[in-house]
Amino acid sequence: MAGGGTAGHVFPALAVAAELDRRGHKVSWAGRSDSMEENLVVAAGLEFHELGARPWVGKGVVAKAAAAATLGWSSLRGRSLVRRLAADAVLGTGGYVSAPALLGARLAGRPAFLFEPNAQAGSANRLMARWSTSAFIAHEATARQLACPAEVTGIPVRSQFHSIGPLPEGRPHLLVLGGSQGARQINELMPAIVERLIAELPDLTVTHQAGGVHVDAVESGYRALGSIATTGGPVSVVPFIDGVAAAMAAAHLVVSRAGALATAELAAAGRPAILVPLTAAGAGHQRFNAERMEIEGAALALSGDRLDGDRLGDAILTLLRDRPRLEAMSSSARALANPNAAARIAEVLATAGGRR
């Protein structure tokens, strides 16, 4: 497997890796050294191999030339790696770091597969589709953007999410997820919102994943309010949550960006959410994800370009005070889950390897 850069490029593949391991297959990973993917993959107990790669989207002529040169020699290294490991197939999960392993697979005469969770395919996957055997996708519309056969499987989610029970009893708990890289907009709004929420709901507790880059600023924001302590108090601020499934199991409501992985995990966990899709150019898939969850009654979607603290705070307070609505949203979320996605992808990969 190869991919990285964000948790959304890693965790779905780890779900497939766990299924392949259960079936007796060996899985290795290729990616950048000293990276998020290396940390997550090694922690999952998989063998990790470094392959160099550079981004090319949005770069100048010189940077693109350097990226192309890196891709060339790294693809040759990928070919050698595939042959040395005797890999029967390669799965690219997105991000430019997946490109040299996929090209290396084809140079070594092995089948290469893509995973694309978004309705709008990423640039790396669109490029790599020209040399890929087939792709696994979450939305039918994505197939038209890829120059290879594609199968709608849904998004693989780790098994822990599917085993989460109903909403917990007891004091309300709010989980704030800004994604693995943090979400500046959510991070900046939440301290003042939480101060207001705790004034209205004194027994409220909050876990806020701020992202490693923003954690110090977010902690400072909470401390500046004076009435909220981040150590031993109702608010816990962390850079990254390794056990997101356990964090969701404890939550009554989740505030999150609307990336493909985040919405898939919310569906599997059956957790109601307020989704704030990223508004940056090229992030239209987040708006699509949020609107789909809202239409199905699983979430409330708030437009990021018009979001303010009062609007987000009102939405959180209204939902936390309405347990029947939260339970209805939980049921609607579970109805959107794809519990067989990892098994289906593992089956195709194992079959391709057997045919070879």
Phi-psi region for residue 5, left (φ > 0), alpha (ψ -120 to 50) or beta?
A: left
Q: In this predicted model, what pLDDT tens digit does every residue of 204-219 receive, in sequence order?
A: 999 999 988 888 889 8
Fold (CATH) for 7-155+339-355: Rossmann fold (3.40.50)
Does the global pTM surpass 0.85?
yes
Q: In this predicted model, what pLDDT tens digit does every residue of 71-121 receive, in sequence order?
A: 777 889 999 999 999 999 999 988 888 999 999 999 999 999 999 998 888
* Residues 95/5, Cβ–Cβ less than 8 Å: yes
Boundaries of CATH 3.40.50.2000 in the chain? 7-155+339-355, 161-334
pLDDT at 127 over 60: yes
Distance (Å, whole) CA 281 – CA 95? 17
356: confidence class by pLDDT, cuts 50, 70, 90: low
Q: What is the DSSP letter of 49?
A: E
pLDDT at 281 over 50: no
Other beta carbons within 10 Å of 42: 12
Q: In this predicted model, what pLDDT tens digit does every residue of 229-249 receive, in sequence order?
A: 666 779 999 988 888 999 999
Angle between helical axes of 184-200 and 215-224 (0-180°, round to 10): 30
Sign (positive or negative) of CA dihedral 19, 341, 46, 80: positive
The mean pLDDT of 179-193, rounded to a whole number, is 81
The mean pLDDT of 25-46, rounded to a whole number, is 92
Least reliable range by pLDDT among 24-28, 307-311, 337-341 = 307-311
Q: Looking at domain 161-334, what is its CATH homologous superfamily?
A: Glycogen Phosphorylase B; (3.40.50.2000)
Other beta carbons within 10 Å of 46: 18
DSSP string, 117-172: -SSS--HHHHHHGGG-SEEEESSGGGGGG-SS-EEE------HHHHT--S---SS-
pLDDT at 255 over 90: yes
- 312 or 284: which leads in pLDDT: 312
14: confidence class by pLDDT, cuts 50, 70, 90: very high
Distance (Å, whole) CA 248 – CA 160? 10
